[in-house]
Structure 1
Amino acid sequence: MASRLEEIKADIKAINERHQRYNFRQEEEQGESFQWHRESPLSAENDVVGMEGYEETLLDWLLSEERRDLMISVWGMGGSGKTTIVAKFYNNREVKKYFQCSAWITLSQDFVVENLFKSMIKEFYKAGKDLVLTDIDKMGYDGLVRTIQEYLQQKRYVIVLDDVWSLNFDLWRQIKAAIPSTRNRSAIMVTSRMEEVASLSFGIPNSIHHILYIERLPENKAWELFCRRAFTNVPNQRCPLLLEPTAKDLVRRCKGLPLTIVVLGYLMSSKEKTELEWKKVCQNPNWELINNPRFEREKYILLLRFHDLPYHLKHCFKYCCVFPEDYLIKRKRLIRLWIAEGFVEKIKDKTLEEVADTYLEELVCRSMLQVVKKNHFGRAKSVRLHDLMRELGLSISKGEKFCVSYNRGEGEEVANARRLAMHKCDEDIPRCFDMSKLRSFFVFATETTMSSQSYELPKKFKFLRVLDLQGVPITILPDEIGELFSLRYLNLRETHIKEIPKALGKLRNLLTLDICDTKVEKLPTSAVNLHSLCNLLMYHYDPRRSKSFDFVSGTKVPFDISKLESLQVLASIEADDDIVRTLGNMTQLRRIGITKVKAGPQVWQLCATIQKLNLLRSLFLMSYIGHELNMNYLKHPPPLLQRLTLVGKLQSVPRWFGSLNDLTFLFLKCSILKENPLLKIHALRNLRRLTLSNAYEGNLLHFHPMWFPMLKILRLWNLSQLNKVIIKKGTMPDIEDLWVGGCCMLKMLPQGIEYLSKLKELTLDDMPVEFVEQLREGGRDRPRITHIPQINHYYRISGKMHHESLS
């Protein structure tokens, strides 16, 4: 073994010498990995070709004269565009106005009815996190059925069940029991690649059943879609004449399936525009495999796309397969996992997170990942694998022993796996597997898991790098955790753990520790030894207190936090004099959250400390209850600041607000300002999201022309003295979401709201009755809001929150 190690060292040294000799580093920095994009990976996300007629058909069915409920089945091959078509219909402005509530549920192949109902309820209530029933995860079948029936009663609703693989009579009978027949043209839509599901007689009384078959794209539309993807930088997106015969041959082989055309188009867009290079793809001998009737053509084209990925992106793509089917993968979680696994290469002048972000954008741009949600400035917030992509990734991963997903009774592949993801674990984690070879271990909590009382972790994780137990109701983290010397990523978010063992301090290689929303109130003193730690996430968010002052709490740190010199993310800690004084030494910090900040010397010292954090992008400060948060002591804010949250009374609007040129997110809560804050923040040209919650005691907010040119979201909460809002033409030209809540003195709609032509959603929460009545059909202000597709109204009766649509 010693001799072999010496040989490996010699090989590594030789590789490094060749690396420097041939200047590979310069090529990598300038090459495909970071210069591949020619457009934003999100810019063409909703670009659809050849599907316009389907949307018109769905609208015709919806708006027909018959006053009965609708049952619509949409079916076609995998990758034919079923979900895209239904999504365009679902998001259509006229459709949004027509239905009072909606839910989109993507089903796994072996879904549980109770889980479907819980997802449905959460979809209905998603407009406000605080409105979700707190005991929903504890409800049984009968309670869930009653909740849905009560919510949907007298409402016109649309429910989409996406990607249904099977729906037998007994299963449908259970679903149908929860969904009332309203006889007012409510709609249930099902998408499926199975003809027997689409043709199923659903037996809904007084309903009409329509079936929409999604055909393959005709040749001309297939060619148009391919050219849009393959020739994004060519004038008019036209194929060069020299390449046209080869390109058309490639398109014909896609057989009119949009997904495979898009993927092939992106594949060819990265190739040199020469006939020889394109014929290499066309003449690939593996194309002959598709003549086998059992071979799925679309999967082969996806396989071509996978093999064309750079080496580092192949690992990143396969790693996404550890997540369950249709799982929403958070961007930050994914890139931290990639870093922990060593998939992300260090590039000069870039952090590993920035490099990993580029990897994710490339996978999105190449159609290997789908963007599900974006943040306030258009960046991917969560992504998902298309089911065909996931099948491909799992197949490759199993063959390479890269990763294996375990469901009950499917353990034959587990023994040799290097990465194991347990997707169904309703009892204790099985101990029959040999865990000694694992590098990564995931447990994904199902809804039934959440009712379990406690878990014991398997032992012998000798070489483990990643341990992800998010949402699993374990109560104790064993001391053996300290033996995992190679551990780089530990995720205990939303578990029931109350205490972190002292042995945690032995994890000298740990990069990420996530204990958010656990019951841990204090870190052990041994954590001071985690010198490699980059991300320390330990805030506690209480959705039931979202409108209260202390909706977020931090964690106590009983040691000198500045000794963790590698920290880039620290969210959130409880302030004390020692911590505030030493934070200025942590010059690598990009994000920090501090709670319980006291007025006086502690604030002075904190402001002096923040001035030293030149790399800071995100700052969250919450004062101690009743204490003033005087930020005027801060003379020079961090120059790169993008997100700022201040919770606590402000003496005045800080003078330095106007210098925050990169700020995209501003949240002021309980500021109780006498002066109008808009006068000092309107010039923030990059601001995308602004929230004022109990932040201003004045009675007028006046938005002048040219103010907030990039603003997308505006939220005005609990402004108790506000009685008038004026919006001049030319202000907030891009705003899409306006939320007004708890403004008890505001009796009328903001003047000039009709100028906000891009407004997609208006939400009213706990507003005066006379304010709301003016917005109903026939009300005085109704004509001024007809351009807004979705208008929500939340109100309380006997302490219980209710919702209605005013669209």
Structure 2
Amino acid sequence: MASAAVDQVIGIIVSALQNEATLLVGINDELDEIRRELESRKSFLHDAARKQDMSEGVKTWVAAVRDTAHQIEDLIDEFTYYMYRQQCFTILHRIFRTPKTLCEKHRIASKLQQINKTIKGMDERRKRYGIDRIEGSSDHYLPLYQRDSALFTEEDDVVGFEEESWLLKTLLTDKEKDQTLISVVGMGGSGKTTLVAKAYKDETVKSCFDCYAWITVSQTYMRDDLLKSLIKEFHQSRKERVLDDLGTKGFKDLVEILIGYLKQKKYLVVLDDGWDINLWEAINVSLPNNELGSRIMLTTRKEDVGSYFSEDYKIQRKKLIRLWIAEGFVQQIDRTRPIEVAESYLMELILRSMLQVVQRNEFGRPKHCKMHDLLREIGLSISEREKFGVVYDGKAEIDKCKSHQVRRLSIQTTKGDLQSYSNMTRLRSLFVFVISSVSFSNTLLSKFKLLRALDLENAAIDILPEGLGTLFNLRYLNLRGTPVAKLPKSIGKLRNLEALDISETNIKELPSEVVEMQNLSSLAV
């Protein structure tokens, strides 16, 4: 969880520096330095996460890193919110020179500098708690010759994985034209490579592609060597002669060769045992999305997940993906759309049986999923402990839920009213799974200024106050199935809103202010 929090805040910093550069003038240097410091500590977090039995000292250190990541996220969101509010009342070219603004920038910069000192001070504690290096063990990876042997395993020797194997073959052979990245995640020795090899060797699968390549990735892979291997494998799959001077080619030439070769071909690629998230970034530029239905399969041991729905709730695939994107859980990968990356996350969860498919679309892809009750309870327990999120279902006192000061809240009971949650000012996501009447006041909404996702599907709410426009950070708004008949004009102020669902409501027309919503990319009516 701490590793995921750090990954998320690094993504937020990078995104902020790229997209909010004007607003962040004066604190961007501090943010970039913090990003570098956090990057250097990611490996130690992964090492700590691998320890089955963490000492109390290690747990304390990991918790401190997580809490620091949360502080940084809060500061960025608060400062961006403050600067946006200033824009509403000040002439744009004078914003950055007002004494009040300069004072606020100085305050934030000072806080960031203090956080940076805290991060650096963690090194001493890290060494004290014994997380001073990445510890390897013989079960962390299979030798390459053992991994490649999976390609020669007979079909009858593969035991189990019937459902997973069927799902993989369906994903590889469906009619979807976009290039699709399919990730298979699991610990070493869990059968990932064998499962993928079974699908890869299937003649029905191979007949769907013009060329194919299987690449086993070592932990110390060289980018250019991977590209050369791809070229050789593609040519050999078509019994074509490989270029004689391939060994002399550099990165630019190799990319051009691959793009030219694959431009008009439907291809299949397996990247087996990818440890590094940068692997995909390093080579995807050479694998064009030519909209011919190409597929890329990646086996890996990396995982980062989370989800918050009521028991036995049927989760719509598109809804879950939009929520992940809104929350910033989807890592930015060059030239790959966030929705494609999120789709690969979903496939990981399904292949690992963490989500169960309850309905598929006409292409055989998941349409609705649900989480097993036991897994849900385990996930909620971890989530609560890690201050990730909490569910209020009436089983605990409401004050206990509020005391967590968590970042995600799922309300699943009619007891109490929304006003009682007004002190949870750090919320990033709010789900309301009740069918009784609920209402939001302008005062309540002003307390949720950092909210990224607001899900009111099927809630009995008929009026949205003008205060909705204060939710500057909002990326996702779901009003599906509510009796809402009118959107407030202030909705135009939600310049970060990416997804809006008003299907099955009483809304007949949109206010003209929606044209001001610069980032709206998904509108369901």
The TM-score, its normalising length taken from structure 1, stands at 0.30
Structure label with greater radius of gyration: 1
**Counting strand residues as a fraction of each chain, which structure ranks higher?**
1
**Counting helix residues as a fraction of each chain, which structure ranks higher?**
2
The TM-score, its normalising length taken from structure 2, stands at 0.45
